[in-house]
């Protein structure tokens, strides 16, 4: 389907062009081995299983919590749940869904079980694009494909269960069999993608690393902390500062953006809010544009990749990570957030949104 994205036309694949029946036909003789049961692994494997594909899971039993989670989700040890090497030996499509650092660590064990005509599947371009650092270099006799859901594993599963699906990008880095593209698209439909849009391994990893460090996580958290701090410094209470910084965004405004776009959200706010937002938006863009350019440069040059691999290679990394996350969780801002969440009405969020929107489609903001 050809879609016009603001004057630029792109070809996207929906379930209409590539229905589930076609996906099942393409993969009817495949054994899909999902390696890793941490973040993306559970969602993608369960969605594929629920859609009727032949799926097995490969998980290192040493990571007991992930192994036990797989068992709890219905994967049977010795039948559909194996250690990593056994799953790779049995699979014809190897979905490498462990963390980026773990992919580097287990790659020698994965590679020796790849057979001619197998497909090696990723949900992130990291290991292939930065192969000079990861040493993940696929043999020439396999397909190398990618489907990258634009959301966490939790969102991939939740959206699948709701019937909405989640958008995913797709790419083919190596087509040995001549079937790489149809295998890739079938898997994208199989994991429950709402629609699929084309990319390259390089573009996916550059945009993904920039987005995570930027608007999606790093910038969002940093901007929230800055505004909260200024409000507190000027005498506002924790509940007021948190509500004006986070609660109103997540419980009302961002949902309007999701529904019909940023312009529609602006249209459904007060004239005072509109004027102020339009005046200050360029100031924030001017202030942050140099930061984003620096970020993208570091991503493209591999500096961020080196940082990730070095950090995750530290034997004490998990303990240090938990300290950093605990510091965030125990900050006044997020303790205030915990209290606010406990005070939220227990009715569905959709009802809350409807109650804020009047007959003319305008909110109280």
Asked whether residue 208 is assigned to any structural domain, the reply reads: no
Asked whether residue 207 is assigned to any structural domain, the reply reads: no
The CA distance from 37 to 27, in Å, is: 22
Among the listed residues 298, 46, 37, 26, the one whose alpha carbon sits nearest the alpha carbon of residue 145? 26
Which CATH number belongs to the domain containing residue 76 in this structure? 3.40.50.720
Which residue numbers in the chain have pLDDT < 50?
352-365
DSSP assignment of 232-296 equals: HHTT--HHHHHIIIIIHIIIIIHHHHHHH-HHHHHHTS-HHHHHHHHHHHHHHHHHHHHHHHHHH
Kindly state the DSSP code that residue 115 receives in the 8-state scheme: -
- On whether both 169 and 218 belong to a single domain, the answer is no
Q: Which residues in 108-159 belong to E strands, given as ranges?
A: 119-122, 143-149
Asked whether residue 319 is assigned to any structural domain, the reply reads: yes
Helix (H), strand (E) counts: the chain = 20, 11
Residue-level pLDDT at 359: 34
Q: What is the pTM of this model?
A: 0.83
The CA distance from 46 to 80, in Å, is: 12
Residue-level pLDDT at 350: 53
Buried b (16+ CB within 10 A) or exposed e, 101-131: bbbbebbeebbebbeeebbbbbbbbbbbbbe
Out of 174, 199, 224, a domain closes at: 199
Residue-level pLDDT at 355: 43
Residue-level pLDDT at 347: 62
Among the listed residues 156, 128, 133, 147, the one whose alpha carbon sits nearest the alpha carbon of residue 27? 147
Cβ atoms within 10 Å, residue 64: 10
- On whether both 162 and 219 belong to a single domain, the answer is no
- On whether both 55 and 32 belong to a single domain, the answer is yes
How many domains does the chain contain in total?
Answer: 2
Domain interval for residue 350: 214-356
Residue-level pLDDT at 14: 87
Out of 199, 227, 254, a domain closes at: 199
- On whether both 195 and 230 belong to a single domain, the answer is no
Residue-level pLDDT at 346: 73
The catalytically annotated residue of 113, 124, 132, 236 is 124
- On whether both 162 and 73 belong to a single domain, the answer is yes
Q: Is 113 a catalytic residue?
A: no
Residue-level pLDDT at 152: 87
Which CATH number belongs to the domain containing residue 318 in this structure? 1.10.1040.10
- 53: Cβ contacts below 8 Å, ≥ 6 apart: 24, 27, 30, 32, 190
């Amino acid at each position: 389907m050809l879609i016009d994205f603001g004057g630029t036309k792109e070809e996207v694949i929906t379930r209409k062009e590539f229905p589930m029946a076609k996906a099942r036909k393409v993969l009817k003789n495949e054994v899909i081995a999902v390696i890793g049961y941490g973040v993306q692994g559970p969602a993608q494997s369960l969605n594929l299983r629920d859609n009727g594909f032949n799926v097995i899971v490969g998980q290192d039993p040493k990571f007991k919590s992930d192994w036990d989670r797989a068992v709890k989700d219905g994967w049977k040890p010795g039948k559909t749940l194996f250690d990593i090497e056994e799953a790779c030996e049995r699979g014809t499509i190897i979905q490498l869904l462990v963390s980026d650092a773990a992919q580097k660590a287990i790659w020698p064990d994965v590679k020796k079980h790849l057979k001619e005509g197998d497909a090696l599947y990723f949900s992130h371009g990291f290991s292939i694009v930065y192969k000079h650092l990861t040493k993940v270099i696929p043999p020439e006799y396999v397909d190398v494909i990618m489907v990258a859901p634009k959301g966490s594993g939790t969102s991939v599963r939740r959206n699948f269960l709701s019937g909405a699906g989640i958008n995913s990008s797709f790419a083919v880095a190596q087509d040995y069999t001549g079937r790489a593209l149809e295998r890739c698209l079938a898997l994208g439909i199989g994991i429950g993608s709402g629609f699929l849009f084309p990319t390259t391994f390089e573009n996916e990893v550059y945009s993904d690393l920039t987005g995570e460090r930027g608007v999606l996580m790093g910038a969002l958290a940093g901007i929230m902390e800055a505004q909260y701090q200024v409000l507190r410094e000027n005498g506002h209470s924790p509940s007021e500062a948190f509500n004006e910084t986070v609660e109103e965004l997540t419980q009302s405004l961002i949902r309007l953006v999701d529904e019909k776009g940023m312009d529609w959200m602006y249209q459904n706010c007060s004239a005072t809010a509109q004027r102020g937002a339009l005046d200050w938006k360029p100031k924030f863009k001017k202030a942050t544009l140099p930061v984003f350019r620096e970020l993208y440069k570091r991503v493209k040059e591999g500096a961020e990749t080196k940082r990730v691999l070095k950090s995750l290679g530290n034997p004490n990394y998990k303990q240090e990570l938990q300290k950093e996350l605990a510091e965030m969780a125990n900050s006044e801002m997020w303790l205030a957030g915990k209290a606010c969440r406990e005070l939220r009405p227990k009715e569905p969020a959709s009802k809350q949104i409807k109650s804020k929107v009047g007959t003319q489609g305008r909110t109280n903001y």
